[in-house]
Amino acid sequence: MLLATQNLTRRYAGLVAVDAVNLAIPQGGIHAVIGPNGAGKTTLFNLLTGLVEPSEGSIAFAGQDVTALPAHKRAALGMARTFQNIRLFRGLTVLENVLTGLHPRLSASPLATLLRLPSFRAEERHAIEQARAALAMVGIAQHEDAQAVNLAYGDQRRLEIARALVSQPRLLLLDEPAAGMNPAETVALAELVRRIAASGPTVLLVEHDMGFVMGLSDSVAVLNFGRQIFTGSPRAVRAEPAVVEAYLGARLAAKLRVAHGE
Ligand SMILES: Nc1ncnc2c1ncn2[C@@H]1O[C@H](COP(=O)(O)OP(=O)(O)OP(=O)(O)O)[C@@H](O)[C@H]1O
Ligand SMILES: [Mg+2]
């Protein structure tokens, strides 16, 4: 397995956000984590990438126990991610944003200073080549000099993916990559995710758009209230009563909240 968790658990006061999850993600392909709002999907990604510490359990990545490793060391081993809420450096250009993916420990301003030096070393020239390749992969190479903040929303999402890809990760984690996209953009994004997976990285994604998930994924893990209630092929997931119930339950709860004026 490329990534495996055992009994992975994160508690917050009064709730268990991730409850004894055992993921087993093989090398290669596209894998999904789904579940209703608040099911623990983002917390799971935060645990995997080292942004949140587990209350219990362990994480193995690329044959190594990474449970105690800080985020930047996991990144160095080949984990890269995007965020549910876009996190870009608003004052930097598109190309500079991608370069930050190669220097995860540099903050925005020293990097910008570095980039303005008249003489680039060979290393930096190589970094720029890699960044351009990542931009070409996601289809926004023509915007490299634009300010990130001026990109169309869908292109900002693509930029985040380029920034994650530039480090040539073994595992790419995408947290709701299709959020806020229209149907045409979502179809194009699915095509991009397929191309990325075909080019090497294993993809693990969280997404609410079921058409997107079911059409793309080799395996799907379903969370509900932090618990992993089912894992299987898209076809098996669709046929599983416990999954249908989890989603119906969540929808009903939302309706009740509306009915109560909350
Ligand atoms: N730092 C925190 N402190 C307290 N509770 C938290 C914290 N982070 C997450 N939670 C809670 O943990 C649960 C899982 O949250 P999480 O964001 O992981 O869900 P999610 O599946 O990503 O939801 P969504 O689909 O809405 O993005 C929620 O009840 C949330 O309120
Ligand atoms: Mg989330």
Answer yes or no: is the C-beta of 15 below 6 A from any ligand 1 atom: yes
178-200 pLDDT, tens digit each: 999 999 999 999 999 999 999 99
Mutate which of 43, 84, 207 for ligand 1 pocket (most atoms within 8 A of beta carbon)? 43
Ligand 1 atom index nearest CA of 226: 14
For residue 93, the 8-state DSSP code is B
- Measure Cα distances from 78 to 108, 122, 142, 160, 230 in Å: 22, 23, 27, 16, 27
Ligand 1 atom index nearest CA of 176: 27
Distance 84 CA to ligand 2 centre (A): 6
Ligand 1 atom index nearest CA of 44: 18
Distance 228 CA to ligand 1 centre (A): 15
Answer yes or no: is the C-beta of 74 below 6 A from any ligand 1 atom: no
Distance 12 CA to ligand 1 centre (A): 9
Given a cut of 90, is residue 23 above it in pLDDT?
yes
Per-domain residue ranges for the chain? 1-78+169-262, 88-168
Residue nearest to atom 28 of ligand 1 (CA): 38
142-189 pLDDT, tens digit each: 999 999 999 999 999 999 999 999 999 999 999 999 999 999 999 999
Distance 194 CA to ligand 2 centre (A): 22
Topology, domain 1-78+169-262: Rossmann fold (3.40.50)
Residue nearest to atom 14 of ligand 1 (CA): 40
| Alpha helices per DSSP H over the chain | 41-49, 71-77, 94-100, 108-116, 122-138, 153-165, 183-198, 210-216, 234-238, 241-259
Q: Are 214 and 40 in contact (CB under 8 A)?
A: no
Answer yes or no: is the C-beta of 12 below 6 A from any ligand 1 atom: yes
Q: Residue 72 and residue 199: Cα distance in Å, rounded?
A: 24
Q: Residue 162 and residue 156: Cα distance in Å, rounded?
A: 10
Residue nearest to atom 31 of ligand 1 (CA): 38
Give the tokens for residue 81.
């991610």
pLDDT of residue 117: 56
**What pTM did the predictor assign?**
0.91
40-84 pLDDT, tens digit each: 999 999 999 999 999 999 999 999 999 999 999 999 999 999 999
Distance 120 CA to ligand 2 centre (A): 39
Q: Are 99 and 127 in contact (CB under 8 A)?
A: yes
| Percent of the chain scoring above 90 in pLDDT | 78
pLDDT band of residue 126 (cuts 50, 70, 90) is confident
Question: Which residues neighbour ligand 2 (ion) by CB within 5 Å?
Answer: 41-42, 84
Distance 253 CA to ligand 1 centre (A): 17
